[in-house]
Structure 1
Amino acid sequence: GVYFGPYPHVYAATETQQFIQKVYPLRKCARNSKRACLYYSMGQCIGCCDHDVTQEEYATQIQKISRFLNGEVKEIKQNLVEKMHDAAERLDFEQAADYRDQIRYIETTVEKQTIMSRDYTNRDVFAFFMDKGWLSIQVFLLRQSTIIKREAALFPCYGTPEDELLSFIMQFYQEQNHILPKEILVPEGIDTELLAETLETTVRIPKRGNKKSMLDLATTNSELALNEKFLLIERSKHKTVGAIQELSEALGIAYIETIEAFDHSNIQGTNPVSAMVVYKDGKPERKAYRKYKIKTVEGSHEFATTQEVIRRRYTRLLREQKPLPDLILMDGGKIQVRAAKEVLEDELGLVIPVAGMVKDNKHRTASLLFNDELVELDPRSQAFHLVQRIQDEVHRFAITFHRQVRGKNSFSSQLDQVEGVGPKTRNKVLKHFKTMKRMREADLEEFQKLGIPLKVAENIKDSFKTEVPK
């Protein structure tokens, strides 16, 4: 095999690898299929399954990849630059930015590696970068002049970055899997005498040459890692708070801080349940989720089920003087929205906006029913994706609860058929074993510890022997 690397910037290396698969595709899968796979249609497979590929043609692709990874990228970079300019002229700035980033990834990945030297001393390199109160630390572990491992740490910095790095290095070698090297390289400002005395090894601050290049590269990686974290934070904020702002504007509400969403679940009207999920500032508040067993409705009756759940939820909030949501989402259309508003406005005197998550023929939210009008959300908007996440979450929560209730009821129903098992014994068994699987695997002694007579315990165990497999 031919090996390339190591590549300290993992993200850039991964992006470049994916780029190579598109420009110089090889065989993608190991199966001897008789027709082309999806990767071939996407241009990421040479297509051995679709047509004959000669050994010479395949070897040529490998040679091109080898030259690319050895730094012969001038032609490809020029092609990407031209595509970037063309995209910018078409005002497709997002595509242009993608081309720009790809050029940077290629330069970062295939440029001549400065981390190598002819010095085979085992050493570790520590560097840091600090911004906006966060400290990013990078560690390169060099053995035989090659980086065998890279470690990173990101955390808030409450002191000086130099003191934090000094403390980090001392703790780093207290861990059993970190072996002390012959030499440690650190940046300016670190107390090398204290560190060398404590660790009993050589500690240096390089000023020039390959060692300085190694330290600079680690510092650059520290900065890149921190910038990527800030980018993720920004994207997360756009995905949550930004989505809430978009949704607020679409519905004409000042700011939707808290959303409560409801969904019902039953099978042909049996074991009806409802579930509620809560989202605050675009994020799920799982501790605030609630489950409801329907008490006053028999069968599948969406209108009555909605009214019972809404009545129970908001009567309790009023009684306990807890804050009300800014928006209620019902997993359904006009029936659920009208049922909820009747209880809120006519019975409880509350004015809380209620919207229905209207589904398309694929059972996915397509729009919101609000104030008797359909509010279409841009499928590319963060608000649209937020509503879909809420719909998926409340549906998942309701289905999971319904399965639990149905399983428990089936469990209870089977026990009711066993001779000698009354309500007290049934509840005792249900409380202890919780699932049919646990009860099936238990021995008679475990039943007897619950105060159940031996004969009744044998009857319970025998009931599972005659159970019809599903």
Structure 2
Amino acid sequence: MINTEIVKRKIELLPDHPGCYLMKNKDGTIIYVGKAKSLVKRVKQYFTRPQEGKVFRMVLEVTDFDTIETDSEKESLLLEINLIQKYYPKYNIMLKDGKMYPYIALKKMGDPYLKIARNDRDKSFSYFGPFPNSGSAYRMIDLLNKIYPLRKCKNIPNRACLYYHLGQCMGPCINDISKSDNKDMISHITKFLNGDASEVKQEMTAKMRAAANDLRFEEAQEYKETLDTIENVLSSQKIMMQDHIDRDIVGYSQRDGYISILFLLYRKGVLLGKNLFVVEKFDDINSELTDYIYQFYLNHPKPKELIISEKSIADILESSLGIKVIVPSRGVKKDLLFMALENAKAGLDEHFMTARLEDDNLKLLEELGNMLNISTPLDIELYDNSHLQGTEAIGAMVKFINGVKVPSMYRKYKIRQENKRDDLASMEEVLTRRLTRLKEENSKMPDLIIVDGGMTQVEIAYNVREQLNVNVNIAGLAKNDKHETDALINGNTGEFIPLNHKSPLFFMLMRMQDEVHRFAISYHRHKREKSFFETIYDDIPGIGKKRRIQLLSAYPTLDSLKSVTLEELKQIIPEESAKLILEKRDSRK
């Protein structure tokens, strides 16, 4: 799809060199900036391959483009970011995170005190962090000020304040505190901030018991509450690495045209928090990961070590960021990568479940009814099946009334038909059982039944309706070749209705779809725990007991594996093992 003669001629002249390309519209405005190892291969793909979604819309607008050659892929990445920041093209995505992460600063000399700092430039302080969540930093300071008799006043007054009389300050305003006492307190606080609270917990426990033995119960209760606070504050900062190195772990997940990228931030071996970004997918995954990771560290401190899953982008990130980049294949670091993947996957699911919650559900249901040419569907039922290599097959139904889920009206079905791997037969069984019961009990039929599985599932639902002679509207959610939901199927006419991935209706349908998937998977897990069974992960070289458990946690059913890409699976298992699982998955379709 080449829009102008200029574009056609320029494509023929493109060099096989790294560089950046700048797409322009009819007004000469730069609408997209990209980078490439090979300009001719990358730019040509936009106009010679079928595109969809946001990329399709961008290509339609392109009437001209410019290129800038570079000597290396690293230079093309740096140039791309500079050009994006200069022109702010409408189709480029910048990570929206302008926050400056706070540090906890501890005064090194004189009377020690703690404060929140926005950078680590003042050499008279020791710094701990940065903390992705400022609330965590403030809670930590409050706790330390309660445990240790630190100076609390910014400017030392002429007389003792309330903190001195409460025993929470040594009173440098009226006492001459020795250097050794200050040094000792700084040492204890540093150990605590580095994750070692064993000494203070032992001391607090001893004081609590002594107070209780002396019948000073109120004082004992205060020590107990302090111990509880220590546990609560440190529970989210569990030490996972014993080498105390600053490192970040990056995991990602993708679905339905969106990508989630998650950063786990470890400082001195302590997990301080996470950062999640959900953006609309535009380029290939490796190119987008490179861009977003580089963008992140333009505004945030770099760690000494970065752990990622993609070998293909490790070198360019290492050279452009100037830090060590590791792609682990086993061990603790691989486990951390899996934790990042699970958090990214959960974050993306949460995005779809919570996005646009403020929208008017009734208005969206009216829009849905108009699209399907039916009355506003206030009572909607969604159906899904779940099994893993044909074991413990189940069906599930969830109900939404006025756009709100009604869990008390959900239903579970244990599949009775013999071929548990046959999703169509399972769907036919579940719908037949559900609609037959409603008919026999003379109960109200739903306004709309939505099935997830494309035209074949819609045809099954249509046939069940006709055989039972019941009055119920049918619709289906259709996926593209990337297993991304992109259309609504009218079960009465067979019409495919494209869905806008940014529309409020799309997000409402995704919330409904996610809810039936969640309910089906939770029921399947419950049944699975009660029996020994074979899984799709069995007999795969490189998949031992530990990895099998991880895979079952992240992708518990065949349905949850449907949209998984090789790149995503490679984050937690070797590439060859991932290929075998996907081959096995595809053979079950």
Relative to the length of structure 2, the TM-score reads: 0.32
More helix by share: 1
Q: Over alpha carbons, which structure has the higher Rg?
A: 1
TM-score (norm 1): 0.40
